[in-house]
Amino acid sequence: MAKRAVVVAVPARLASSRLPGKVMADIGGRPMLRHVLERCRRADGVAAVLACSDSAEVLAAVRDWGFAGLATAEACSSGSERLASVLDQLVAAAGARPEHTLVINVQGDQPLLDPAIVAAMVVRAEDPAGGWLPVITPVYPLVAEKIHDPNVVKVLRASDGRAITFSRSALPHVRDLPPEQWPSRTTHWGHVGIYGYRADVLAGWSGLPPSPLEELEKLEQLRLIEAGIPIATFTVEADCFSVDTPEQLELARQLVARQAS
């Protein structure tokens, strides 16, 4: 059997539009990005963990922490595009052929990421045919108060776990029931925002046709859906806490301090 390998890649853009510089924000004495990288390194089944950034400052810091850092162009419009732009180096770090390499895209603003989610993705991404699934992502059951929150990305899943579509609106719409009663009829699913790509699939990212849905919703995964590339899902208990605002950054500091005590 051909060698299969997993590499975790963390796109880290310093010029975040909502909270500039957040990946280097201090949390418990360490930058947020360092928390993410170190948690990824603790996941079972991972051959390498790298950061991908257009910032020389970030790359220098990453290397000081003992991780590899790959320089990317500033113009990348999404994390997936950023990883695709340095895919040859990611595959080289994995040490396997592209079709036998799984690239896990982890957000750089998830300082409380559970390494078990990354490890679970490695297991669930295995194709029964002996390779990797094209794309896989974790989902979690939404609590009632988040079903209609446009800041929470939702997933509409088929019975086999395949993602049908993603939206900031509630999915599915439950006809003939008031919105507050929708949870009584079905489970609504949220999207964690971590992707596992088979490297040969990610290699075709720049060649995918423009996606009107992606532009409307500002969700990069819709480009794959519109191109007919299947996205498998697997369930986890809860979302990974992400930092997008000063208030969330302060909460992250409190949660990390609580874990350390």
Long-range contacts formed by 248-253: CB under 8 A, 24+ apart: 249/19, 249/22, 249/25, 249/27, 249/32, 252/27, 252/32, 252/111, 252/112, 253/27, 253/28
Q: Given this model, what pLDDT does residue 142 score?
A: 95
Residue 16 pLDDT exceeds 80: no
Q: What is the pTM of this model?
A: 0.94
Residue 191 pLDDT exceeds 80: yes
Residue 5 pLDDT exceeds 70: yes
Q: Given this model, what pLDDT does residue 72 score?
A: 92
Q: Which residues contact 2 (CB under 8 A, 6 or more apart)?
A: 96, 97, 100
Residue 198 pLDDT exceeds 90: yes
pLDDT, tens digit (0-9, with 9 covering 90-100), for 155-176: 999 999 999 999 999 999 999 9
pLDDT, tens digit (0-9, with 9 covering 90-100), for 57-99: 999 999 999 999 999 988 888 889 999 999 999 999 999 999 9
Mean pLDDT of the chain: 93
CATH number, domain containing residue 50: 3.90.550.10
Q: Judge contact between 43 and 124, C-beta under 8 A.
A: no
* 10, 22, 60, 162 from 71: Cα distances, Å: 12, 18, 10, 33
What's the rounded mean pLDDT across residues 116-120?
A: 96
pLDDT, tens digit (0-9, with 9 covering 90-100), for 21-60: 999 999 999 999 999 999 999 999 999 999 999 999 999 9
What's the rounded mean pLDDT across residues 91-109?
A: 95
Q: Given this model, what pLDDT does residue 41 score?
A: 96
In the chain, how many domains are there?
Answer: 1
Q: Given this model, what pLDDT does residue 261 score?
A: 74
Task: Give the confidence band of 238 by pLDDT, cuts at 50, 70, 90.
Answer: confident
Residue 1 pLDDT exceeds 70: no
Q: Given this model, what pLDDT does residue 22 score?
A: 93
Expressed as residue numbers, the domain containing 202 is 5-260
Q: Given this model, what pLDDT does residue 130 score?
A: 81
Q: Given this model, what pLDDT does residue 25 score?
A: 95
Long-range contacts formed by 55-63: CB under 8 A, 24+ apart: 55/12, 55/13, 55/14, 55/15, 57/14, 57/24, 58/12, 58/14, 58/23, 58/24, 58/33, 61/24, 61/31, 61/33, 61/34, 62/12, 62/33, 62/37
Q: Given this model, what pLDDT does residue 110 score?
A: 94
Q: Given this model, what pLDDT does residue 243 score?
A: 92
